[in-house]
Structure 1
Amino acid sequence: MKNLKISTRLSGAFALLVLMLVGLAVAAMAQLSSMRAATVEISENWLPSVEVVNAIDAQTAELRMIVLTHIMNTDAAEIAKTDKRLMDGRAKLVELRKQYERLISTPEEKKLYDEFAANWGKYISVNDGALELSRKNQNDDARAIVEGESQRLYNTSGEYLDKLVKMNNDGAEQARKASERTYNQARTTLVVVAVLAIALAIAAAVWLIRSITAPLARAVEVADRVAGGDLTAHIDVDSRDETGQLLSALQRMQQSLVRTVSVVRQNSESVASASAQIASGNNDLSARTEQQASALEETAASMEELGSTVRQNADNARTANQLAMNASTVAAQGGEVVAEVVETMKGINASSNKIADIISVIDGIAFQTNILALNAAVEAARAGEQGRGFAVVASEVRSLAGRSAEAAKEIKSLIMASVERVEQGTLLVDKAGATMTEVVTAIRRVTDIMGEISAASSEQSAGVDQIGEAVTQMDQATQQNAALVEEMAAAAASLNTQAGELVNAVAVFKLAQDSAYSAGTRFGATAGPAASAPSSRPVLGAAKAAGALRPAATKAPKPAASLAAPGGKAHAPTPAAAGKGGADDEWESF
């Protein structure tokens, strides 16, 4: 995992987040689909069936009253008018029965309805015989049939209708329970999936942050120590990702700086020693200046490579920042999906409220039927003995209307309970939407952090470029110093001062071999005799010290040819002395 690139880690983490969002949305849509199916079954099958059965019951009661009216009339015009009403009522009943037949959904319901239809056919046959007697003004015989066999068949039909109502109410109750179970499952599923998604997102974020910030912290620590002049830090590179590449580059930079500082220290000591021996150390100074220029060229090349590496890291950081922004956009789209789920829950809530309104209408119809039955009972009471049968019918109608009202109230209470649960589900989905908003905010914070990392990498690249320019300028200065060696007499004091400043500047850096090293002391030991060298012994000692600090590849020139003259004055070295030291070849190559 440590060798994965930062872009790969970010892509994997955000892909995992997107998959979790998709899983949450799919689970929510599946549960909502089940709840919708149960609600549709209640609203389009069971409740319309109850409504139509109640309408059939009311219509049969009306036909019963028409028959009773028919057998109580003796006037031909009234009988004809009643026949017309009877035909219209039967046609309406046929239409209601066709409506119900389209709503039958189970074999049991079909069987029960067929039994009702068979019984009702018998009832119609018996009533037709009574009506024929009524048309012949044989009302007593007709009444006997209506109050006997016809009444029994009518009561049986009512029982069948009551069973149909109960069967449809039971079906609605089962559908409601199924919807409730689906709701509970949906709530549990969404909570579990949301908790898992949050836990995985937090774990991925912690892992991602640690895998990026820990190596960067190590890199910053090393850079701070290098900036403070400490080049003894040990850099461990245990990964091959961008941060590992950065640490590796810092390791190479530190090694290059160690080599460079070591070379600069040695060369600066050589320059200080050579400046004290103006006459005898001119060739030696030329050779050391050549070495210094070569080392600075290598440093410039190393800094150029480092600058390329840092620029590459900056480009990778910008790429990672872009990926983080894309992931933030995907997370925002996930929040929009949750918002659509909230709107769907609101639609289900509205449908449940409409169902409750339909139940209220059914309750109102039952109430009006009860009022009509009460009025019919009053009219029957006024009719006296002749209205007794009519009063019995009105009482039955009132009883049926009362039962219908009670059933409608129960269904309404159940629907209201379902509405409350749907509202609770809406609240839970709203909370899920809020949680998704928080996740989007967290991802945007990560995007901001990656932007800061990209900006820091760009600044680091600019800093490395400036260091490269500085090293290039140092190289140019060294070239100029080599040219100024020819001005030996006039530039001796200035060269000595510059050498001292260079030694003090390099002394800021701490190397592993610095336990017994003191740059200030060494420079003081060489600068003193260089300032005033009337005799040859101090100059000779300085030359030996310079030779000790010289790299192994450079052969120290013999100082005998450059000792001070007996008169106490230093003079320029002769060509023979230069040839003995082997410095001419080095000067030519420089």
Structure 2
Amino acid sequence: MLARFSIRTKITTLVAALLLAISGLGALGLLKMQSMNTSTVEITTNWLPTVTVLGELRAEVVDYRLKLRDHLLATEDATMQALEKELAAASERIKIGQKGYEALISSPEEKQIYDSWRSAWDKYTAEVPKVLDISRKSNGAISVEGVKLLSVPMGPFAAQMDEAMRKDIDLNNKGAAAASAAAAATYSSAFFVVLSILGLSIAFGIVASVMVIRDVASGIAAIIKPMQTLGQGDLSADVPYRGVSTEIGAMADALQVFKEALIAKKAADAAAGRDAEEKIERGRRVDAITRNFESMIGGIVQTVSSASTELEASAGTLTATSARAQELTTAVAAASEEASTNVQSV
């Protein structure tokens, strides 16, 4: 299935898939980190500071109420004046705390609780000048009217402030707990998802790598086998993957060209061999003809030599015969001359 794809395409696809998985893993991690950071920032910039400010504000209100009570119990003017200064300073700190808290209000419910507390505080502080006036006029004696005023109507106002403050602190504690739980849930889900994606990426990388390596190795082995066969002289070996537009296909095409060149060379060698055999055969025929010619010439020379010998012998015989004839002629001539002489004598 993967054989029709080039090695470059396979490796590029594998690397791209792994990079995509890593990018997705990084993006998911960033999103989860952002979510956790949002929860953490919400805790550190809203819920915890709000609880801290509410605790400080509550402590200042309690301190303010204690100083107001101490003012009723004070017997000296100097102590009363010092307490009044402390009350004024506490009132300023409470105002600063109110402004700081108002900037941290994050929900309509919290705003409603704060409005209830501020209403009770405003009503409570509206009665403070009356208590201070009664305390100054008591001349060091405990004023029943002042104590009564602290109880009614300031007591219910104080109780309303305490209740509102408790609700507000509980609300912010719950918000902090919810944000903390959300951060923990985000971490758990992020850990599970990241671990899952990481595991899947590793598994995919291993499987894909094995498949690509096996495919490339099998393709190379399929090319090596006909190479070895051709190297052993068997030119009938089939070359696979020819015409495939991959690196293996290019190697197969090159091997096919090499095979065809070997076939052409073998044919040329065979033709050259046949030509050489024909030349050798012609040489053999020429050699045979030459030997036959030499043999024939030798026979002729032998015959001529024999004839010459016989002719020489015949010539010798003729020479002897001629000499004998000459001798006979000489004898005849002598006899004739003798006969002639004899005739003449007669």
TM-score range, shorter chain: 0.7 to 0.9
- d(CA) in 1 for partners of 2:33, 2:285: 98
- The residue that corresponds to 1:204 in the other structure is 208
Question: Residue 563 and residue 145 in structure 1: after superposition, are their counterparts in 2 closer, same or farther (change >3 A)?
Answer: farther
Report how far residue 8 of structure 1 moved.
Answer: 3.0
- d(CA) in 2 for partners of 1:262, 1:57: 110
- The residue that corresponds to 1:118 in the other structure is 119
- The residue that corresponds to 2:292 in the other structure is 565
Instruction: Spell out, residue by residue over 1:448-482, the C-alpha distance to the aligned partner (whole angstroms, 9 max, x if none).
Output: xxxxxxxxxxxxxxxxxxxxxxxxxxxxxxxxxxx
**Secondary structure at 1:163 match in 2:** helix
Q: Does 1:244 align with 2:244?
A: no
Report how far residue 4 of structure 1 moved.
Answer: 3.5
Report how far residue 202 of structure 1 moved.
Answer: 2.7
Q: Does 1:230 align with 2:230?
A: no
Question: Residue 265 and residue 80 in structure 1: after superposition, are their counterparts in 2 closer, same or farther (change >3 A)?
Answer: same
Question: Residue 201 and residue 268 in structure 1: after superposition, are their counterparts in 2 closer, same or farther (change >3 A)?
Answer: same
Within 5 Å, which residues of 2 pair with 1:407-556? Answer: 536=288
- The residue that corresponds to 2:71 in the other structure is 70
- d(CA) in 2 for partners of 1:136, 1:129: 11
Aligned residues: 291
- Relative to the length of structure 2, the TM-score reads 0.77
- The residue that corresponds to 2:325 in the other structure is none
Q: Does 1:220 align with 2:224?
A: yes
Tell me if the contact between 2:241 and 2:248 (Cα under 8 Å) persists in the aligned partners: no
Choose 1 or 2 for highest CA Rg: 2
- d(CA) in 1 for partners of 2:97, 2:260: 98
- The residue that corresponds to 2:269 in the other structure is 264
Query: What residue identity is the alignment partner of 1:40?
Result: V
- Relative to the length of structure 1, the TM-score reads 0.46
1:153 to 157, 162, 167: 157
- The residue that corresponds to 1:92 in the other structure is 93
**Secondary structure at 1:240 match in 2:** coil
- d(CA) in 2 for partners of 1:563, 1:187: 103
- d(CA) in 1 for partners of 2:127, 2:14: 81
Report how far residue 147 of structure 1 moved.
Answer: 3.9
Report how far residue 111 of structure 1 moved.
Answer: 0.3
Report how far residue 273 of structure 1 moved.
Answer: 5.6
- d(CA) in 2 for partners of 1:275, 1:196: 76
Query: What residue identity is the alignment partner of 2:127?
Result: V
- The residue that corresponds to 2:142 in the other structure is 139
- The residue that corresponds to 1:162 in the other structure is 166
- The residue that corresponds to 1:381 in the other structure is none
Q: Which segments of 5 or more consecutive residues in structure 1 lack a partner in the other structure?
A: 282-532, 537-561, 570-590
Tell me if the contact between 1:24 and 1:190 (Cα under 8 Å) persists in the aligned partners: yes
Instruction: Spell out, residue by residue over 1:459-512, the C-alpha distance to the aligned partner (whole angstroms, 9 max, x if none).
Output: xxxxxxxxxxxxxxxxxxxxxxxxxxxxxxxxxxxxxxxxxxxxxxxxxxxxxx
- d(CA) in 2 for partners of 1:69, 1:45: 35
Q: Does 1:195 align with 2:199?
A: yes
Report how far residue 66 of structure 1 moved.
Answer: 0.6
Tell me if the contact between 1:35 and 1:182 (Cα under 8 Å) persists in the aligned partners: yes
Question: Residue 568 and residue 175 in structure 1: after superposition, are their counterparts in 2 closer, same or farther (change >3 A)?
Answer: farther
Q: Which segments of 5 or more consecutive residues in structure 2 lack a partner in the other structure?
A: 297-346
Report how far residue 263 of structure 1 moved.
Answer: 2.8
Question: Residue 564 and residue 218 in structure 1: after superposition, are their counterparts in 2 closer, same or farther (change >3 A)?
Answer: farther
Q: Does 1:184 align with 2:188?
A: yes
Query: What residue identity is the alignment partner of 1:257?
Result: L
**Secondary structure at 1:139 match in 2:** coil
- d(CA) in 2 for partners of 1:237, 1:118: 90
